[in-house]
Every structure is written in C-alpha cells, then in structure tokens.
Structure 1
Amino acid sequence: MMRVYVGNAVTDGAGDDGWLLGHFKPGGDVRHSDDVEIKWGTHAAGEERARWVSGERRTA
C-alpha cells in the first residue's frame, strides 16, 4: 500500500525550522526517512549567504 502525504510546506515546516521530511520525523510518519531530508525556506530578494559550508559530503 502506497502512502501519500498532502500538506502545506509553510505550515508543516513551522514546527521543525522548515524541515519537511527526514530522520527527525516520528517513525511511522510517512515523512520519516533515514535516506532523504527536505527543508523548505523562503529568501528575500537580494539575500546572500555569509559563507558556504565546506567539508561536508552530500548528494543531490
């Protein structure tokens, strides 16, 4: 049986600093995953990062 979650990224991410899917969601929640993490965010026009992360290993 395939489970599907439908929601609102702004509302759902508010409780976890924007994180929507990942290991931090409770086991049994369709949004729980040990393999993938998804974060939602909005940025103001012209916003820039102070610096980029280095030395981490990630895939996209």
Structure 2
Amino acid sequence: MLNDDILVGMKEICCFLRVSRRVVNRWMKEYPDMPIVKDGQRMAVAGDLAEWQRRHIKRRTVSR
C-alpha cells in the first residue's frame, strides 16, 4: 500500500488492520486522530493508517 492509496469501506479497513469491526469502532472512539473519514454510511482511510497504527496500537500492546 502506498501513502496516497485509499481504503474504502469497513471491510477493507478491517482486513488491512487485521482486526474486527468492533475493534475499529472502539479505536475510532478512543483515538480522535485516527485517519478515518466517515462519508455517510461509507468510511475512507488515507494511506497514513499504517503509520497511525504503528504509533498508537503497536506501542500500546508492547507496553503490556
């Protein structure tokens, strides 16, 4: 995935992050800086989602 690629829809986002819809929804509430844009019923993510995940999620799981 390149930095300017866009994922569209919850299914693509979940597959990319390798988590469930429930986890993505929880992260969206916990982290207001998560790079997901809701456009009505659809969601889109810019390519910086991988970097966001490395900064927030990997750090949190390593520290446990």
Please indicate the TM-score interval, normalised by the length of the shorter structure. Answer: under 0.3
Structure with higher Rg: it is 1
Query: Quick check: which one's helix share is greater?
Result: 2
The answer to which structure, 1 or 2, has the higher relative contact order (CA under 8 A, 6+ apart) is 2
Query: Quick check: which one's strand share is greater?
Result: 2
